């Protein structure tokens, strides 16, 4: 530059040595820029391609699991098989406890009834050679459906003596066979179904008796191991729901309150600096450490129950807290000081200025931070493994204190199930459900931000 300034006339003349140098260096720099751009673009493309591969893989594996083989049967609720007294009704003057005892006694009676007979009797009508293969016959419908029949009787005893057309889930291995998840050309000794069973199933499927129906079981049932075909996500879903409830009730208000205090009220001194550094450190603590804390402190000292969503929720709250605090603080920082000054100038107290003017403007940002924190907590698995939430739970929890699993843990459990042919698809289906929930939470966060965001 100094050279050009000293010799201004030379610039017009044909390219001098200096200009050639400049041109060459310019080309070099442009080349570098192009290289950098293409590197960046290919990095983006590669990561997109990897995400696409992952999604295509999961969806290709998981989508079929949303439909499941079910058999359409006319079930006759045979009074000769279902021999029970009339369902007890609460008498006038009878205490609740007495009635409960009588009702339990009645249900115990039902427990002795072989509801499988209703199913096999109905199957015998449509399978002519059934009586010779009774073992196979009992395995067509998955074993959990007998409880569904029992529950129908409990709900409405007048059904006894009537015939109902029902869609019952078939055994998991039948679903595997019909979906082609097992190689059909394998010899008998490597097949899960007997030759007779395979013949029946193919015939019933061709006749339209066994059809592929949308799997409500996947959403309505808790996990199952005795009746694999009816294993579902309801228990894990409710477990996750309760945990998120605890996180929303605990981490969000505490995080927001802490952030407001730190940002607006706290004096700037060494102690607050220390607190600030520690919050940032807390955000970087690996989640499994929180699990260890939960196992030793919450379960060990506070005697909270094992495998319960309340403990999971508390642990995840701790994990989410720094995320919420950091998001809230940065939102508060982004609000122009003029808003505060205007409010203070008009005579508002500091608290009024913050709660009437600053906080309403910060709410979209706080919500976004909170939702992202909750979404992160929803997908967290490691700390839950340590507080006993990877147990097999075959019931839907009715409160946060009852044993439950969570959606990501359910994925882990199904991944470990020994009937691989059936559960590979089921696992991917559970992943799809979890992914959809995360995507919708993130979508909600984006929508809230777009709708209420103010720019200055």
Partner 1 sequence: MKLNTLTAVLLAVGVLSTSAQAQSSRDTIQIAGSSTVLPFSSVVAEEFGNNFAQFRTPVVGSGGSSGGLRQFCQGVGANTIDIANSSRKIRPNEVEACKANGVKDIIEVKIGYDGIVFASRTDAAVFKLEPLHVFLAQAAQVPQNGHMVTNPYTRWNQIDKSLPDQEILLAIPGSNHGTREVYEEKAVIPGCKSLAEVKAMDKDAAHKFCTAMRTDGKVVEIAGDYTETLARLQAQKDAIGVFGLSFYEANRDRIKVATMSGVEPNQDTIISGEYPVSRPLFIYVKGAHIGVIPGLQEYAQFHVSDTMSGFGSVLESAGLIPLADDERAEIQQAIASKKSL
Residues that bind partner 1 (CB under 8 A): 104, 107-108, 111, 143, 147, 182-183, 186, 189-192, 224-227, 250, 253-254, 257-258, 260-261, 265, 299-300, 302-308, 310, 314, 351, 388, 390-395, 401-403, 415-421
State which residue, 62 or 388, has the beta carbon closest to partner 1: 388
Q: Give the nearer residue to partner 1 in terms of CB position, either 417 or 441.
A: 417
Rounded CA gap, 381 and 79, in Å?
A: 49
CA distances to 112, 186, 233, 380 from 238, in Å? 31, 40, 9, 15
Q: How far apart are CA 115 and CA 135, in angstroms?
A: 16
Q: Is 192 or 212 the residue whose CB approaches partner 1 more closely?
A: 192
Q: How far is the CB of 102 from partner 1 (least distance, A)?
A: 12
Q: How many CA atoms lie within 13 A of 151 on its CB side?
A: 5
Q: Which of 377, 367, 369 is nearest to 316 (CA)?
A: 377
Q: Which is nearer to partner 1, 280 or 391 (CB)?
A: 391
**386, 441, 389: which is closest to 411 by C-alpha?**
389
Q: Count CB-CB contacts under 10 A for residue 165.
A: 8
Cβ of residue 388: shortest distance to partner 1, in angstroms?
A: 6
Range 109-112, long-range pairs (CB < 8 A, 24+ positions): 109/84, 109/85, 110/82, 110/84, 110/150, 110/153, 110/154, 111/150
| CB-based contact 375:436 (threshold 8 Å) | no
Report the residue number, 244 or 299, with the smaller CB distance to partner 1. Answer: 299
Nearer to partner 1, 138 or 438 (CB): 138
Closest approach of Cβ 54 to partner 1, in Å?
A: 18
Taking the complex as a whole, the smallest distance from the CB of residue 403 to partner 1 amounts, in Å, to 4
Least distance between partner 1 and beta carbon 299 (Å): 6
With left for phi above 0 and alpha for psi between -120 and 50, is residue 388 left, alpha or beta?
Answer: left
- The region that residue 392 occupies, defined by phi over 0 for left and psi between -120 and 50 for alpha, beta otherwise, is beta
Could you tell me the smallest distance in angstroms from the CB atom of residue 73 to partner 1?
21
Closest to partner 1 by CB, 126 vs 254, is 254
Q: Tell me how far, at minimum, the Cβ of 391 lies from partner 1, in Å.
A: 4
* Residue 417 backbone dihedrals phi, psi, to 5 degrees: -70, 145
């Amino acid at each position: 530059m100094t050279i050009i300034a000293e010799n201004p006339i030379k610039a017009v003349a044909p390219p001098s040595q200096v200009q050639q140098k400049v041109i060459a260096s310019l080309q070099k720099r442009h080349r570098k820029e192009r290289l950098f751009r293409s590197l960046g673009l290919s990095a983006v493309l590669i990561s997109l391609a990897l995400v696409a591969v992952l999604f295509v893989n999961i969806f290709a594996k998981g989508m079929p699991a949303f439909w499941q083989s079910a058999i359409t049967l006319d079930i006759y609720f045979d009074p000769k098989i279902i021999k029970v007294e009339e369902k007890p009704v609460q008498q006038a003057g009878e205490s609740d406890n007495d009635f409960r005892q009588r009702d339990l006694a009645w249900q115990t009676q039902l427990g002795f009834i072989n509801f499988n007979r209703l199913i096999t009797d109905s199957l015998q009508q449509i399978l002519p050679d059934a009586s010779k293969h009774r073992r196979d016959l009992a395995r067509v419908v998955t074993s959990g459906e007998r409880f569904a029949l029992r529950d129908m009787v409990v709900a409405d005893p007048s059904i006894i003596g009537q015939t109902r057309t029902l869609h019952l889930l078939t055994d998991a291995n039948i679903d595997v066979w019909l979906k082609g998840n097992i190689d059909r050309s394998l010899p008998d000794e490597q097949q899960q179904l007997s030759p007779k069973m395979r013949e029946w199933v193919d015939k019933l499927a061709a006749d339209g008796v066994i059809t592929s129906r949308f799997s409500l079981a996947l959403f309505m049932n808790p996990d199952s191991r005795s009746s694999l075909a009816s294993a579902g996500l309801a228990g894990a879903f409710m477990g996750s729901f309760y945990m998120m409830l605890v996180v929303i009730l605990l981490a969000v208000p505490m995080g927001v309150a802490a952030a407001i205090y730190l940002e607006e009220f706290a004096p700037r001194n060494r102690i607050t600096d220390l607190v600030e550094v520690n919050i940032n450190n807390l955000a970087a603590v690996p989640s499994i450490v929180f699990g260890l804390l939960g196992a030793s402190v919450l379960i060990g000292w506070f005697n909270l129950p094992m495998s319960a969503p309340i403990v999971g929720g508390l642990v995840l709250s701790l994990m989410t807290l720094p995320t919420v605090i950091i998001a809230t603080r940065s939102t508060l920082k982004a609000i122009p000081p003029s808003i505060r000054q205007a409010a203070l100038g008009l005579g508002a107290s500091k608290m009024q200025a913050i709660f009437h003017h600053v906080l309403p403007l910060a709410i979209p940002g706080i919500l976004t931070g909170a939702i992202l924190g909750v979404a992160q907590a929803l997908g967290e698995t490691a700390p839950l493994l340590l507080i006993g939430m990877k147990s097999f739970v075959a019931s839907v929890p009715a409160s946060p204190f009852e044993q439950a699993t969570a959606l990501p843990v359910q994925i882990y459990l199904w991944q470990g199930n020994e009937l691989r042919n059936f559960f590979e698809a089921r696992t991917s289906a559970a992943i799809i459900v979890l992914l959809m929930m995360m995507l919708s939470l993130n979508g909600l966060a984006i929508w809230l931000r777009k709708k209420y965001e103010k720019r200055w």
